[in-house]
Amino acid sequence: MKQKSTKKDSQNPPLDSLKTLSHIASILQKSHPAENPLAHIVTLVRHQLEVDVCSLYLLMDKTLILVATDGLHPSSIGQVRMEIHEGLTGLAIEKLQPVIVNEASHHPRFKYFPETGEEKFHSFAAVPLMERHQVVGVLTLQTVESHIFTPQEIEVLKLIAFQLAGVIQNLVTLEILQREVKHEKKPLQLQGIAVAPGFGVGPACFLRTGEAPVLLPLGSSQNLDPKEEWKKLKTALQKASQGLMRLEKKLFKKFSKQESDIFYSHRMILSDPTFLKKLKHEIQKGVSAAEAVSQIIGTYIHEFEKIEDPYFKERSADLEDLRQRVLENLLGKMSPKHPEKAEGILIAETLVPSDTARLDPERIKGIITSRGGLTSHAAILARSLGIPAVMGVGNELAKIHPGNLLIVDGSEGKIYVHPEQRVLQKYERIQEEQANQIVHLQKFAGETSCTLDGRRIHLEANIGLFSDLQKLRYFGAEGVGLYRTEFPFMMRKKLPDEEEQFDLYRKIVEEAAGLPITFRILDAGGDKPIESLGVPTESNAFLGYRSIRLFLKRPEILQTQLKALLRVSAYGPIRLLIPMISGMEDLRMVKEIFSLAQKELAKKGKPHAPQIPFGIMIEVPSAVQLVHLLLREVDFLSIGTNDLIQYTLAVDRNNERVASFFEPLHPAILASLAQITEAGKKQKKTVGVCGEMAGDPKLVPLLVGLGITQLSMMPSSIPLVKQVIRNLHYEETQKWMGDILQKVTVQEVRELVDPFLKKFDIR
């Protein structure tokens, strides 16, 4: 049956359907009540019909569940589930007749499950199992080589399906199957990637892909007019582009150009000459417009998913979003999914940007996806909307079912399914404490951040999205200590030019309304890959071609950004912050490029502030050792504690196996912080912290005691940190910190830290 021809070889003996059914009956008779006989049956059918895969799906509560397979990965049994309006398997139920597809992955109803390992299979057949006009399941076949099923083979499938339908209705077997797929309400904890902070509690609400459009029947392409198909496709592309423009404008009004640029980039793909050329070529070969769209974008998706880099993998969700949008406009069938009406904890295999943009933060308490990560567009939008999110849960998502009570912790990446009462009470207590704390701490928003004995500590905010600027005054920030400029670059297929950057930065400065903004120069690479830079994937990106190393090799990119920022200085107070400086050579090269940017603007008569505070981040051990020299060349320092800890202790902070070694209280880290602040005091230069340590109430007393005078953190952390500072005595904290610096182990440090925190009721 694995032959590629469209007709059966007349020399081959006909399939013996009666013999196949006899074997099935024999298996059922000999099966022990404690086992699932369907596992034997799918193996028998696979060998009898000479296919590579035979699988059986049971229909329970309007959900198709894989209960037996021979050919797909065994771990997918019980895990693969889909609604009847999903996938080619569900299409067999909708049509109530066999569905035969030669290239399954090119069909718009194809639904891919990574856990099955089915990407290598091409031909697909699905037959509904009917018992007295009632659908009980679906039998499916798959082959590696392209194959067209003959009428005789289809008839055999129908006979087998008829026999199996009666078997499944048998109460004994049904009881076995129900036991196999039963959802017990046992407490369960899952782990994913924390992409949007906060937590939410609510019932699981699944966002399905909806009723996907159906292609023209295979085999009818020879009757199509290529000119007519191309005309239809151009109209569909135009409609899709118009829809994207509406979303782009909606997001621009709600957030900023950064978020709306997601859909701008989607529109650019639709008008890309290479993309259009490929579509036209397929149509001229005689295929339908819908098949051309599905196939060409499907090829792009497949290529992106093969790339190891998570950033590029996550772009495949954007392409799938585009494919569905174009097909819906082309075939006139819109998907019935309504993300704006979803309520509770939203569950999805992946969340495309257009769905995320339509979510209502008042109704959605959290987001969980099996795919996606920190740099996905959906993650960026979730952070903008303030919805806690955990992504990259993988196959574990199958353990969550509609209506399950969930807790989503977007700060820790934890998901609690059917949480125990004590866990619920813990989060309810946290929620209540946070609510009371916000009310209590809000009164400090306008107060000065000062210790009891008069030590002034400036509190500023770390910002990555334009929408975060609205939170500055609400939480009492005195400015922006770190504005990450990476996101506009991450969302574009090409680098933004000087004018585009200038427009964005000016809007940021104007929104801040007089508060100082510290713009960090583009920090690309490592955990922030940027497609438009064309940097190849590296085995250890954090120690590779990243950040200032990259831009000293390509100074034109750095100079363009510096010119845009210099021009913005005419509209409000800004500071420039250079990341990843490792020595004097790096710093002097950056200053030279900065000087060239100033001269070029002066030559063109473009206004900018004559003096702009110029600082560097201290993130690597070499910079710590040279800090007394580096300070002579700059106006201020900002310590990036996340990277400093990572590089000093040789710990990948994203590797859960060594996460326990990422220790801010390590004596080597505290000694490095002390060395930096002491150098700052001697040269009378400001030393701040913009890493996670700055926003941790338990670590703030240590930073104050070291002599840090500026802390930058998430805006929502500012009120609590301010309260901690206002309860401290600087001199007492300084003496305490002096004792801590004498300790040589983490445990010894903790023995001094814990009683001090307890004394001030810092948790």
Catalytic residue list:
377, 690
User: What is the total residue count of the chain?
Assistant: 763
Handedness of CA 86, 92, 94, 95 (dihedral sign): positive
SS3 of 113-166: the string is: CHHHCHHHCCEEEEEEEEECCEEEEEEEEEECCCCCCCHHHHHHHHHHHHHHHH
Of 612, 617, 621, the closest CA to residue 520 belongs to 617
Helices (H), 469-546: 487-490, 498-512
Rounded Cα distance between 662 and 82, Å, is 40
- Number of neighbours of residue 535 by Cβ within 10 angstroms: 18
Rounded Cα distance between 311 and 302, Å, is 14
Of 500, 560, 488, 524, the closest CA to residue 261 belongs to 488
Instruction: Please give the order of strands across the beta sheet that includes 389-391.
Output: 188-191, 414-417, 405-409, 199-206, 344-348, 364-369, 389-391, 193-196
| Local structure of residue 395 (DSSP, 8 states) | G
DSSP labels, 341-371: G--EEEEES---HHHHHT--TTTEEEEEESS
| Local structure of residue 97 (DSSP, 8 states) | S
H/E stretch holding 618: strand 614-618
H/E stretch holding 415: strand 414-417
Rounded Cα distance between 165 and 132, Å, is 9
H/E stretch holding 424: helix 421-442
DSSP labels, 220-241: -GGG--HHHHHHHHHHHHHHHH
Pairing of strands 99-101, 199-206: unpaired
On whether the CB atoms of residues 267 and 242 are closer than 8 A, the answer is no
Tokens of residue 499, six digits:
């004018």
User: What are the backbone angles phi and psi of residue 59, rounded to the nearest 5°?
Assistant: -95, 115
Count Cβ neighbours within 10 Å for each residue of 545-574 and write b for 16 or more, e otherwise.
ebbbebbeeebebbbbbbbbbbbbbebbbb
